[in-house]
Each structure stands twice: as C-alpha cells, then as structure tokens.
C-alpha cells in the first residue's frame, strides 16, 4: 500500500523516491554501538542469541514439515550494516536525479531455522534447549529476496552476507546488553 501511495504521489507532484523492501534485518553494528534492544523480540536470530546466553530458557521451532531441505522455514537475513549501506546508496541515487525505484534488500539466498540455530550454537560455543512446536498459521516455507535490481540500479554490494558474521555481531551485542543491564 505504501508503494502505491508513493507512486501516486510521484504522479501528482514533482516527487521521486526509493522504496527498499527489507528482508529479516539481523546482526548489530560491528563496532558495537547499536543493535536490536527490543524486549520480548520474536526475530529468530535475536531469540537464538538470547537463548544461547541464558536470557531465555529455550527456543521453539515452529514446524519441521515444510518442503525445505531440513523441513524448517527458510528466510533471507540481511545484516543491519548492509541495510544502512543500501540506504546511503538510495540517497545518492536520488540526489543524482534518477527516477523512482522499488528494490528488495536481501542476499538472494536463505537459511533455515535449524541452520540459524546450529550457527548460533557453534558461534557462541553453547548448547541450548530447542523445542519443536506446531507450524504457525500463514508461515510460508521460504521467503528469499532477489537483490538483482538494487545491485544493478544502485550498485549496492553486501559486505556482511555471511551467517556467521551476522550471528557473531548479534551475539556480541547481546553480551553487551547483558553487561549494561547488570550495571543498571
């Protein structure tokens, strides 16, 4: 709906825009300045990191009977720093006088729920309890972006498109949050 409103506004007025479609933003600033701080978050990587660090007792996998390699949902995760770079490229694109654009922000490949959990366990060096639950209504088996347009039109190239890197930055952020909370 927002994209339709932007397109209508562009037709009615002298208005150009870039709409970026986000795909599962994860990770944290590599310098440790910012990261996801939402209490009770439901994002898989954050929940898995919190579980690895003992902030949660367990993590639930919602369904293992999807038509994917390991039966769990597959998603395209994008490191928050790559998303920041995409925004900078979009602003430069508009400032150069280009036409409006809608583009996906993702890596073009996904990771399953179990792959993410296994990566968090390996990178953190900690095992944790995983419960298998029923599917959540409406969860598609796979959601993966095609980054072709953003790469072609904006010249955007990801720097952090590795699950280990995403997880490592998220874990470091969660450890920093735990330390800050102890200080409060």
Which pLDDT belongs to residue 23? 85
Distances (CA, A) of 162 to 9, 33, 156: 38, 20, 16
Is it the case that residue 108 has pLDDT exceeding 80? yes
Encode pLDDT of 143-172 as tens digits: 999 999 999 999 999 999 999 999 999 999
Residue 31 forms part of a structural domain: yes
Question: What is the pLDDT at residue 1?
Answer: 93
Which residue in 179, 149, 144, 169 sits closest to 46, CA to CA?
169
Q: Which two tokens stand for residue 68?
A: 């994917």
> Does residue 71 form part of some domain?
yes
Query: Residue 41 pLDDT more than 70?
Result: yes
The CA distance from 114 to 120, in Å, is 10
Number of compact structural domains in the chain: 1
Contacts of 76 (CB under 8 A, 6+ apart): 23, 24, 106, 107, 108, 109, 110, 143, 144, 145
Q: How far apart are CA 115 and CA 181, in angstroms?
A: 29
Residue 180: pLDDT over 80? no
Domain that holds residue 29: 16-183
pLDDT score recorded for residue 178: 73
The CATH code of the domain that includes 42 is 3.90.25.10
Joined together, the tokens standing for residue 87 give 């925004």
Of 7, 157, 141, 146, nearest in space to 69 by CA: 141
Would residue 100 count as lying in a domain? yes
Look at residue 48 and tell me if it is in a domain: yes
User: Does residue 29 form part of some domain?
Assistant: yes
Q: Is the pLDDT of residue 183 over 80?
A: no
State pLDDT tens for residues 69-106.
999 999 999 999 999 999 999 999 999 999 999 999 99
**Cα dihedral: 72, 128, 38, 176 (round 10):** -130
- Confidence at residue 102, expressed as pLDDT on a 0 to 100 scale: 97
Confidence band for 114, pLDDT divided at 50, 70 and 90: very high
CA distance 169 to 143: 23
Q: Is residue 10 part of a domain?
A: no
């Amino acid at each position: 709906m927002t994209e339709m409103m932007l397109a209508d506004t562009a037709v009615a007025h002298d208005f150009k825009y870039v709409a970026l479609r986000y795909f599962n933003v994860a990770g944290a600033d590599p310098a440790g300045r910012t990261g996801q701080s939402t209490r009770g978050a439901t994002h898989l990587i954050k929940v898995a990191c919190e579980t690895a660090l003992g902030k949660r007792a367990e993590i639930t996998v919602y369904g293992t009977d999807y038509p994917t390699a390991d039966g769990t949902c597959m998603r395209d995760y994008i490191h928050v720093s790559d998303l920041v770079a995409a925004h900078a490229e979009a602003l430069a694109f508009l400032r150069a006088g280009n036409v409006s654009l809608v583009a996906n922000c993702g890596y073009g490949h996904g990771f399953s729920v179990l792959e993410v959990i296994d990566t968090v366990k390996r990178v953190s060096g900690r095992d944790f309890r995983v419960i298998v639950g029923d599917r959540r209504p409406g969860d598609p088996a796979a959601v993966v972006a095609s980054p072709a347009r953003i790469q072609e039109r904006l010249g955007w190239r990801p720097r952090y498109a590795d699950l280990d890197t995403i997880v490592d930055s998220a874990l470091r952020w969660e450890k920093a949050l735990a330390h800050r909370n102890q200080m409060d």
